[in-house]
Amino acid sequence: MTRLPDHRHLRSALRARARSPTMDRMELREEVRRFAEQRVRPHVKCMEQRRTVEVGLAEEIAARGWIGVTIPRAYGGMGLGHVAKTVIIEELARVSGAMGAMAQASQLGVAKVLHFGTSEQKRRWLPRFAAGELLPTIAVTEPGSGGHVLGMASTAARDADGSYVLNGTKCFVGNSHIGHVHGVVARTGPGSRGLTAFLVEQDRAGCEPGSAGTQAGLHGFSYGELIFDGCRVPASNRIGDEGQGLDVAYSSSTLYGRPNLTAVALGIHQAIYEDTIAFTRERHLYGQPIAKLPTIALKLGEMHSRLMTARLLAYDAVQKLDGGVSCDAELMNAKLVNTESALTSARAALEILAGHGTQQERSIERYLRDVIHTFPAAGTSDVQRLRLAQVALGEYAGAWSERVPRSDLVLAEAA
């Protein structure tokens, strides 16, 4: 199996520090911000120009133990939960939406093993995810099904020896071209209990990355195709029971995908806000900074209000998730509001910067291109609204935050 290059010394020192009980969220935010400014920002221009997948930075981020932020310490992770995960993603996305997206995609890939894996699978995989040796993904979406998960066409046929043979194409898979272990959901039978999840190592025969796509933004991040052509996986790679694939897909999307994309949108929103404020101070018209013009001040006030609301909803939802409080609706609403308000602020920023906003040096056009990617992932805004309507009408059947144990409660099994 392909491994990330050896960062063992760096990794052990950083993980020891990350696990320190004295490290609080403020320290974590400072550490991630420092890293993002010093190590990520210098690569942003290059990522935009080359539009190639940025493997080196992904390795550095993984080496810091941040992919394992929700993995319990008993399995080598940071054991810090969803609030800390949001801090990490937000701070990376503030500097590079692509690296925020990269981190969230593999943190999302952790969920299926953490919540549905056997004790043996947890012991085998989680320490390696936490150490940054291997990047996991989750591959559910297909060209023909999209948000209609049950419409998927990929199959996993059980063979006489108990192994499964996978065939089909997944698309829009976060970290598709750099991930090492793919969490693939495929059809093993008819109906809603006919989906099953598997771990497929990237170098397994019959598993190949396909097109990397022609994305508008998040350059440096891959979310392309994975093609399975007679790919045989042993039964020991099955995650959860046969027929539990829909639970794996929905719970990962609700409890990890939504807050993760919320955090990416929040980080980009923060960057839009900071850059716009700076511009309105720097740009002078009529002998004064344009911040003094009433139309500009109004837009800044609205932007500030949107950002504050978006931030409150983002952190309230994950605080509830960490606290074991039922919060599916809060997670949906946080995703909806963060995506929509970041898009609105990007447009407002473009109006404020006017011609300058169209220039690459100012980054606003990058933020706009990047933030549109948070819109479809983990459910479009309309899908969030539809689910929220189901909650309002008492018809929502998910309640994943009640049904899936908190990540720290997974600890008991590690002993």
Q: Which residues bind ligand FAD (CB under 6 A)?
A: 101, 105, 138-141, 146-147, 172-174, 223, 373, 376-378, 380, 382-383, 386
Nearer to ligand FAD among residue 276 and residue 374 (C-beta): 374
Nearer to ligand FAD among residue 313 and residue 377 (C-beta): 377
Least distance to ligand FAD from the beta carbon of 265, Å? 11
Least distance to ligand FAD from the beta carbon of 396, Å? 13
**CB of 143 within 8 A of CB of 195?**
no
Residue 154 gets which letter from DSSP?
Answer: -
Least distance to ligand FAD from the beta carbon of 163, Å? 23
Nearer to ligand FAD among residue 47 and residue 139 (C-beta): 139
Q: DSSP readout, 214-255?
A: --SS-TT--EEEEEEEEEEE-GGGEESSTT-HHHHHHHHIII
Nearer to ligand FAD among residue 165 and residue 386 (C-beta): 386
**CB of 208 within 8 A of CB of 224?**
no
Nearer to ligand FAD among residue 147 and residue 209 (C-beta): 147
Least distance to ligand FAD from the beta carbon of 327, Å? 20
Nearer to ligand FAD among residue 116 and residue 279 (C-beta): 116
Residue nearest to ligand FAD (CB): 146
Burial of 34 (0-12, 13-18, 19+ CB in 10 A): exposed
Nearer to ligand FAD among residue 210 and residue 289 (C-beta): 210
Q: Which residues pair with 239 in a beta bridge?
A: 197
**Residue partners of 17: CB distance under 8 A and separation at least 6:** 23
Summary count for the chain: helices (H), strands (E)? 15, 10
Query: How many Å is the Cα radius of gyration of the chain?
Result: 21
Give the separation between CA 97 and CA 102, rounded to whole angstroms.
8
**CB of 78 within 8 A of CB of 251?**
no
Instruction: Tell the residue number behind the tokens 């963060």, with chain if given.
Output: 338
Least distance to ligand FAD from the beta carbon of 33, Å? 23
Give the separation between CA 328 and CA 12, rounded to whole angstroms.
35
Nearer to ligand FAD among residue 138 and residue 327 (C-beta): 138
Q: Which residues pair with 284 in a beta bridge?
A: 289
Least distance to ligand FAD from the beta carbon of 377, Å? 4
Least distance to ligand FAD from the beta carbon of 283, Å? 32
**CB of 197 within 8 A of CB of 184?**
yes
Least distance to ligand FAD from the beta carbon of 40, Å? 18
Least distance to ligand FAD from the beta carbon of 173, Å? 5
Which string of b and e fits 284-321 if b means at least 16 CB within 10 Å? eeeeeebbebeebeebbeebeebbeebbebbbebbbbb
Per the document, the length of the chain is 415
Nearer to ligand FAD among residue 68 and residue 174 (C-beta): 174
**CB of 199 within 8 A of CB of 113?**
yes
